[in-house]
A and B are shown apart, each in its own frame.
Chain A
Amino acid sequence: MQALTNRAKAVDRKPMSFLEKLYVVNIAKGMMITLGHFFKKKATISYPEEKRPFSPVFRGLQILNRDEEGRERCTACGLCALACPAEAITMEAAERLPGEENLYREEKYAAKYEINMLRCIFCGLCEEACPKDAIYLSETFAPSNYQRKGFIYGKQDLLIPSPKENPGEYQKAIGNRKAN
Chain B
Amino acid sequence: MHSALLAIDLFLVIEKLVLIVGIVSISLVIAMYETYAERKVAAFIQDRRGPNRAGPFGILQPLADGLKLFMKEEIIPNTSNRFLFILGPCLAMMAAMMTSAVIPWGGTLNVFGRPVTLQIADINIGILYVFGVVSMGVYGIMIGGWASNNKFSLMAALRGASQVISYELPMGLSLIALLMLTGSLKMSEIVAQQMDSTWNVLYQPLGFFIFLVCAFAECNRTPFDLPEAENELNFGYHQEYSSMKLGFYLFAEYINMFISSVVMATLFFGGYDIPFFNDAAHTDWGNWLVALQGLVLLMKVGFFIFLFMWVRWTIPRFRYDQLMNLGWRGLIPLSLINMIATAAFILWKSNGYKF
B315–A38 touching, CB < 8 Å: no
Per the CB 8 Å criterion, the residue count for chain A at the interface is 13
B-chain residues with CB within 8 Å of residue A27 when the two chains form the complex: 314-315
What DSSP secondary structure best describes chain A's contact surface?
helix
Q: How long is the Cα–Cα vector from A44 to B49 in the complex, in angstroms?
A: 7
B-chain residues with CB within 8 Å of residue A44 when the two chains form the complex: 48-49
What DSSP secondary structure best describes chain B's contact surface?
loop
CB of A30 within 8 Å of the partner chain: yes
A31–B49 touching, CB < 8 Å: no
A34–B48 touching, CB < 8 Å: no
B310–A37 touching, CB < 8 Å: no
The minimal Cβ–Cβ distance linking B312 to chain A, given in whole angstroms, is: 10
The minimal Cβ–Cβ distance linking A27 to chain B, given in whole angstroms, is: 6
The residue in chain B whose Cβ has the minimal distance to the Cβ of A24 is: B209
Per the CB 8 Å criterion, the residue count for chain B at the interface is 13
Complex partner residue of A34 from B49, B52, B313, CB under 8 angstroms:
B313
A34–B47 touching, CB < 8 Å: no
A31–B311 touching, CB < 8 Å: yes
- Interface residues in A5-57 by Cβ distance below 8 A to B read 27, 30-31, 33-35, 37-38, 40, 42-44, 46
The minimal Cβ–Cβ distance linking B190 to chain A, given in whole angstroms, is: 27
B-chain residues with CB within 8 Å of residue A40 when the two chains form the complex: 47
B314–A38 touching, CB < 8 Å: no
B-chain residues with CB within 8 Å of residue A46 when the two chains form the complex: 49, 52
Q: How long is the Cα–Cα vector from A37 to B45 in the complex, in angstroms?
A: 5
Q: How long is the Cα–Cα vector from A41 to B52 in the complex, in angstroms?
A: 16
CB of B46 within 8 Å of the partner chain: yes
A30–B48 touching, CB < 8 Å: no
The minimal Cβ–Cβ distance linking B53 to chain A, given in whole angstroms, is: 9
What are 25 pairs between A and B in contact, CB < 8 Å? A27-B314, A27-B315, A30-B314, A30-B315, A31-B310, A31-B314, A33-B314, A34-B45, A34-B313, A34-B314, A35-B310, A37-B44, A37-B46, A37-B47, A38-B41, A38-B44, A38-B45, A40-B47, A42-B44, A42-B48, A42-B49, A43-B47, A44-B48, A44-B49, A46-B49
Interface residues of A (CB under 8 A from B): 27, 30-31, 33-35, 37-38, 40, 42-44, 46
